[in-house]
Amino acid sequence: MALPKVGSIGEYIREQRQQAKISLRQLAAAAGVSNPYLSQIERGLRKPSAEILNQIAKGLRISSQVLYVQAGLIEDHEPPSDVITAIREDPNITERQRQVLIDIYESFRKEGPAEGGQTSQNAHPRTASAPDDEQPLPPELLAALEPYAARNGGGPASQETKEG
């Protein structure tokens, strides 16, 4: 009866933590919660309160809202989320970088359309280190990344620095 179906939130937190490559205790300390409790949260044995959730979000350096949505605590939320616009207006990166970011983002959008409805259900069960279902980036995008990923062989891509 009292079996909370919070399952996905714990997995999500664990994924984020492992992605950040920090230990359970480290995140617990950063979030200001106890280690065992975080362990229980991650395995879905406990349902963290909003405060704890907020602390964990801070410890993970992720948006509280995202975590709340994952926990199914926020349902509405439709932020403009205009990543493209934000990238375009960002003065802190170069034109080149801007274009690469936009290309990558658009590529992501194409390959992973998020099934339209991001309900309270988890987005994807496991983000293992072996994403078999992830599609590779288009070649031209990789080419755009090459100047950054250079030094690992293959030589520099023809970087036509058209901006200037």
Partner DNA sequence: GCCCGCTGCTTGCAATTGCAAACGCGGCGG
Partner DNA sequence: CCGCCGCGTTTGCAATTGCAAGCAGCGGGC
Contacts of 161 (CB under 8 A, 6+ apart): 96
Task: Pull the structure tokens for residue 113.
Answer: 């359309």
146: exposed, middle or buried (Cβ count in 10 Å: 0-12, 13-18, 19+): middle
Helix H or strand E encompassing 163:
none
Binder of residue 156, out of DNA, a second copy, none (CB less than 5 to 8 A by kind): a second copy
CA–centroid distance for 1 within its chain: 33
Task: Pull the structure tokens for residue 162.
Answer: 């058209």
Q: Which residues lie near DNA (CB under 7 A)?
A: 1-2, 4, 23-26, 32-37, 39-40, 42-43, 45-49, 51-52
Subset of 33-52 contacting a second copy (CB under 8 A): 47, 49-51
Helix (H, G, I), strand (E, B) or coil at 88: helix
Nearest-approach distance from CB 43 to DNA, in angstroms: 6
Subset of 97-126 contacting a second copy (CB under 8 A): 97, 99-105, 107-109, 112-114, 116, 118-120, 122-126
Binder of residue 30, out of a second copy, DNA, none (CB less than 5 to 8 A by kind): none
Residue 87 is given by DSSP the state H
Nearest-approach distance from CB 86 to DNA, in angstroms: 30
Rule CB under 8 A: say whether 16 interacts with a second copy. yes
Binder of residue 34, out of a second copy, DNA, none (CB less than 5 to 8 A by kind): DNA
Rule CB under 8 A: say whether 18 interacts with a second copy. no
